[in-house]
Amino acid sequence: MHPYSIALFISSFAAGATALIALSRRQVRSARFVVLQMAGLFIWSFTYAFYWLAEQPTEKLFWLDATYLGVVVVPTAFFCFSLEYTGYGGLLTRRAFMFLGIEPTLASIFMWTDRWHGLFFAGKRTAMSSTILDGGPVFWAHVVYSYSLLLIATILLVWTFMRSPRLFRRQTGAMLVGAFLPWLANLVGLLKISPLVGIDLTPIAFTLTGITITVSLLGYRLFEIVPVARHLLVENMGDGIIVLDNNDRIVDINKAALYFADPAAGSPIGMSMETVFASRSKSITAYGNVSDARFELILDDISPRVLDVRITPLYLQDKRQGRMIVWHDITDRKEMEMQLREANRKLHRQISETKRLEAQLRVQAIRDPLTNLFNRRYLAETLPRELARAERERSSLGVAIFDIDNFKAINDTYGHPAGDRVLQAVSAMLQQNTRRQDIACRYGGDEFVVIIPKTSLEVTRKRAEEWQAALLKEPAPINGTKLQITISIGIAAYPGHGKTVDSLLRAADKALYDAKDAGRDQIKIFQDQLIVE
């Protein structure tokens, strides 16, 4: 077996293995182009190996022509892979694929039909030519087209390498090594310094490119972490991102972060943060030595902004490579939070005002507006509860009903405003001479009811005497004169004089009439023991 064919068979099997490995990652679009490229190289190397095994000239020409089934595929596939890898995969539309397929198809047709038109080989090859270095116009058009694709692909990889952060450069560097191998093989062939005389090293070089991609695939997870993520994602992010090396020099920065940079700093890559962010020296650069932190940063030296900043260390193989600073502009969120807090304060004020008004309405519902004592409605709500409590606790409950003596005469003599002032004076006296647990109510007109829990008849009578004394001590000022006020009081008690609201109030009211009949300014305790329940 010819030694060249052995090398080419090894090259073809290496290409096939690479294709199978890439095929396992076929869910990633760039891997599909590697599969196509390696499939073309497999055909190229495999058929070229049979060329060296063939003995008859016709056989040699057949196998040499068969290599073109792979030759026309490899440059296009490598070009598509480079576009996808460097972040320009969006250009590879369905129409673009159809356009890229035109030249390989036409080149193959012209090559296989050359015997009829001579446009491809132009009669410049012989059966013993192991390489095709000259031909007709279609041949040279194919050469220019193929090398143009390879040149563009190589330039894209060089450009990506120069723009890549240090963390990605090993990966991109491996790709560059693979890209330059075919160029090196062609240079060796043109200079005729190849140790393998008469053999085209290009398929072997491209296979080494495939092996390089395989190493990147397995070692650097090429199809899982590629610079396209940085190009498409990081550059278009609204968040600012800065990657620093261990010397705090910028190795990567996106457009959002450049917004806050000093315009006079120039290209930031390789420069220190202090230089690039000189105008922010009191803000961003103040955290230059912080390796792991999260904080809010207020920038007010150019335009008021609030940033949520996160600083994290970057490690590669357990060795710290630098730091990454990421910030998110939360100015709008802070303004919304302030607006929300203000809305909450207004809401709380409204709720407090509503509660105040509700309390006021509640007071108005249970209080007499003239005297500020409890009204008859409150008495109807409260007296049943007090009776139930007295029954539950087996205690007594005193009820006193009184009205103002000769109140009609006061209204007729001094007028209704004077009568109102008399009612207010009696109300003030009750508020000063009742306990907190006592319930003083204006029952209607000049009539008042006082409920005195846990009090015997004797104590209730004593309290009534105190009310009379207090009124005697403090005459009411009416129209510049002191008007002496007297009251007639009727007293009843639970359970002796009644066990229901109605019976107890009737007993106290009966005692009040007895006091009036006795000449007014009197205190009477209900005497009849028979009360209709």
Please provide the DSSP assignment of 92-111 as one string: --HHHHHHHHHHHHHHHHHH
Q: How confident is the model at residue 468 (pLDDT cuts 50, 70, 90)?
A: very high
Higher pLDDT, 85 or 126: 85
pLDDT of 350 strictly over 70? yes
Short-list 273, 278, 281, CA closest to 250:
273
Look at domain 376-525 and name its CATH class: alpha beta
Under 8 Å CB-to-CB from 400, ≥6 apart: which residues? 449, 450, 452, 460, 463, 464, 489, 490, 491, 508
Strands 447-453 and 240-245: unpaired
Q: Are 425 and 476 in contact (CB under 8 A)?
A: yes
Report the alpha-carbon distance of residue 449 to residue 523 in Å, rounded.
14
- How many Å apart are CA 412 and CA 418, to the nearest integer? 10
One-letter amino acid of 254: N
Q: What residues have CB less than 8 Å from 29, skipping those under 6 apart?
A: 84, 89
Q: What is the pLDDT of residues 114-172, one digit of tens each?
A: 888 889 888 777 666 656 667 889 988 988 998 899 889 888 888 877 766 554 566 66
pTM (predicted TM-score):
0.47
Residues 40, 67: Cα–Cα separation, whole Å: 9
Give the mean model confidence (pLDDT) for residues 388-408.
93
**Could you read off the pLDDT of 54-82 as tens digits, one per residue?**
878 788 888 878 888 888 888 898 899 88
532 confidence band (pLDDT: 50, 70, 90): very low
Extract long-range pairs of 141-146: CB within 8 Å, 24+ residues apart: 141/107, 142/72, 142/103, 142/107, 145/75, 145/103, 145/107, 146/72, 146/75
SS3 content of the chain, % helix, strand, coil (to 5): 60, 15, 25
Instruction: For the sheet with 293-299, list strands across it.
Output: 250-253, 240-245, 319-329, 305-316, 293-299
CATH of 3-230, one of 2.40.50.140, 1.20.1070.10, 3.40.920.10, 3.40.50.880: 1.20.1070.10
Q: Residue 85 has what pLDDT? A: 77
Lowest-pLDDT range of 124-138, 213-227, 438-452: 213-227
Under a CB-based contact definition with an 8 Å cutoff, are residues 468 and 381 in contact? no
pLDDT value at residue 363: 75
Confidence of residue 356 (pLDDT cuts 50, 70, 90): confident
Label residues 247-271 b or e (16+ Cβ within 10 Å = b): eebbbbbbebbeebbeeebeebeeb
CATH number 3.40.190.10 is the correct assignment for the domain at 237-329:
no
The ranges assigned to domains in the chain are 3-230, 237-329, 376-525
529: pLDDT confidence band, cut at 50, 70 and 90? very low
- 122-129: list long-range contacts, CB under 8 Å, 24+ apart: 127/57, 127/58, 127/60, 127/61, 128/57, 128/60, 129/64
Residues 34, 81: Cα–Cα separation, whole Å: 7
Strand partners, 398: 452, 493
**Between 431 and 207, where is the model more confident?**
431
Q: Quick one: what percent of the chain has pLDDT higher than 70?
A: 78
pLDDT of 227: 46
Instruction: Inform me whether the pLDDT recorded for 467 exceeds 90.
Output: yes
Q: How far is CA 260 from CA 217, 243, 248, 276, 283, in A?
A: 37, 15, 17, 9, 11
Contact 400, 462 (CB under 8 A): no
